[in-house]
Amino acid sequence: MLSFLIENMGLLCSRNRHLNQADTEENAQAAEIERRIELETKAEKHIQKLLLLGAGESGKSTIFKQARHCIKLLFQTGFDEAELNGYTSVIHANVYQTIKFLYRCVSNVDGQLLHDGSKELAQSEKDSSKYVLSSENKEIGEKLSEIGGKLEYPRLTKDLAQEIETLWKDPAIQETYNRGNELQVPDCAHYFMENLERLSDSNYLPTKEDVLYARVRTTGVVEIQFSPVGENKKSGEVYRLFDVGGQRNERRKWIHLFEGVTAVIFCAAISEYDQTLFEDENKNRMMETKELFEWVLKQPCFEKTSFMLFLNKFDIFEKKVLNVPLNTCEWFKDYQPVSTGKQEIEHAYEFVKKKFEELYFQSTAPDRVDRVFKIYRTTALDQKLVKKTFKLVDETLRRRNLFEAGLL
């Protein structure tokens, strides 16, 4: 009997030891989980989530590429050689697509009359002659159009580049290009056509400027993460910049990114006041931008979110506004020119800027008016200007954080 009691007492002590050990391990695991949660919470406080939004063709993806190359808020390195090489096929595709598009605008393709003396571009029989290609260039156009219609494009050779240049310089193509605002001619057209010889070199390596001009439609979500350097590095801040597709069918992907956003960078292409959407030729691009900006401003999750409005493509705007009346756009119908030259350009820009400011305050609830709202004039292809703009964005967000912490 005594031996039985001793044996059971031993088992009980052993069990207690195992239970105590299990409790200790469990407590250690719980403590480790708490420690990790605390570390992640502290880390999240230093993460600045920047969301890049805008309608299709607003230039936001070019801004994003600038961020990848030189901005990383001046932080870290730009494109390496492998990345630059990766853009060769994209740039060559842009060349083929551009010349095919321009050719189709002046030629009878697949038995369907598009713009060969067509009603869309020609206002009279006299006008129609401007849009007729020479017979020699029609043959070249047919060949290039066939190449441009393939799923995979050949590498651009010197011979093909010469044929493209010949077609590009045809008066009918030039007349069509000059009315590109009425069509869907990409902004990169002139740049690539003027650099054909370099682009077709057998040892061609894209430059950072080539990459910025390259057109790849954004689908899904693209992200880069970067940190400041120099004096600002000590802050521990980490920036996450998200770019999403701007076309209508891509916007459904925006919503899941709206939570926890520090700042929305909204790109508006101010040069597109006389153009229509790629996906809806009955819709003015500026009116689409106005409605989209208004919708984004009213999202409940952006109650305390800072807004940075990039009035983009100013370089195109300043050339266009002296030739195409700003009041062509319904939103700007009350605009009245007051001067000429540079003074008129500034007057027109300030008018557009004021329109966006008014829209911001009209679309912002009274309890949200104190959130940060800044407007920047940008040219996405101008590296120095975009670099300077992002430095200002960085400083603005830092001041906001200091203010919220009661240090300002």
**CA of 347: how far to CAs of 123, 156, 213, 271, in Å?**
32, 44, 28, 14
Could you tell me if 381 and 309 lie in one domain? yes
Q: How far is CA 336 from the centre of its chain?
A: 31
Catalytic residue among 48, 62, 66, 379: 62
Which has the closest alpha carbon to 148: 98, 184, 217, 186?
Answer: 98
| 21 assigned to some structural domain | no
**CA of 224: how far to CAs of 7, 67, 166, 216, 390, in Å?**
65, 8, 41, 17, 14
- Binding-site annotation: residue ranges: 57-62, 187, 212-218, 243-247, 312-315, 380
Could you tell me if 381 and 243 lie in one domain? yes
243 is catalytic: yes
- Binding-site annotation: residue ranges for GTP: 57-62, 187, 212-218, 243-247, 312-315, 380
62 is catalytic: yes
Q: Over the stretch 67-79, which tens digit does the pLDDT of each residue have?
A: 665 544 344 455 6
CATH number at 174 reads: 1.10.400.10
> What gap in Å lies between CA 53 and CA 55, rounded to an integer?
7
Choosing from 191, 213, 235, the residue where a domain stops is 213
> What gap in Å lies between CA 325 and CA 175, rounded to an integer?
20
- Binding-site annotation: residue ranges for Mg(2+): 61, 218
pLDDT for residue 34: 57
Could you tell me if 236 and 359 lie in one domain? yes
Q: Over the stretch 251-298, which tens digit does the pLDDT of each residue have?
A: 666 766 777 888 888 999 999 999 988 778 888 999 999 999 999 898
Domain count, the chain: 2
288 is catalytic: no
57 is catalytic: yes
| DSSP code for 155 | P
| 22 assigned to some structural domain | no
Choosing from 213, 233, 267, the residue where a domain stops is 213
215 is catalytic: yes
Could you tell me if 390 and 242 lie in one domain? yes
CATH number at 248 reads: 3.40.50.300
Catalytic residue among 104, 215, 285, 400: 215
Could you tell me if 161 and 239 lie in one domain? no
Cβ pair 49, 224 in contact under 8 A? no
Catalytic residue among 76, 166, 207, 247: 247
Of 268 and 378, more confident: 268
Could you tell me if 346 and 197 lie in one domain? no
| 42 assigned to some structural domain | no
Could you tell me if 154 and 165 lie in one domain? yes
Q: Which domain does 343 fall in, by range?
A: 48-80+218-399
Choosing from 166, 187, 213, the residue where a domain stops is 213
Q: Which residue has the tokens 């009274």?
A: 366
Could you tell me if 86 and 75 lie in one domain? no
Of 224 and 310, more confident: 310
> What gap in Å lies between CA 129 and CA 231, rounded to an integer?
63
Could you tell me if 374 and 307 lie in one domain? yes
Catalytic residue among 48, 57, 272, 289: 57
pTM for the model stands at 0.67
Catalytic residue among 116, 237, 243, 394: 243
The torsion angles phi and psi of 146, rounded to 5 degrees, stand at: -65, -45
Could you tell me if 56 and 165 lie in one domain? no
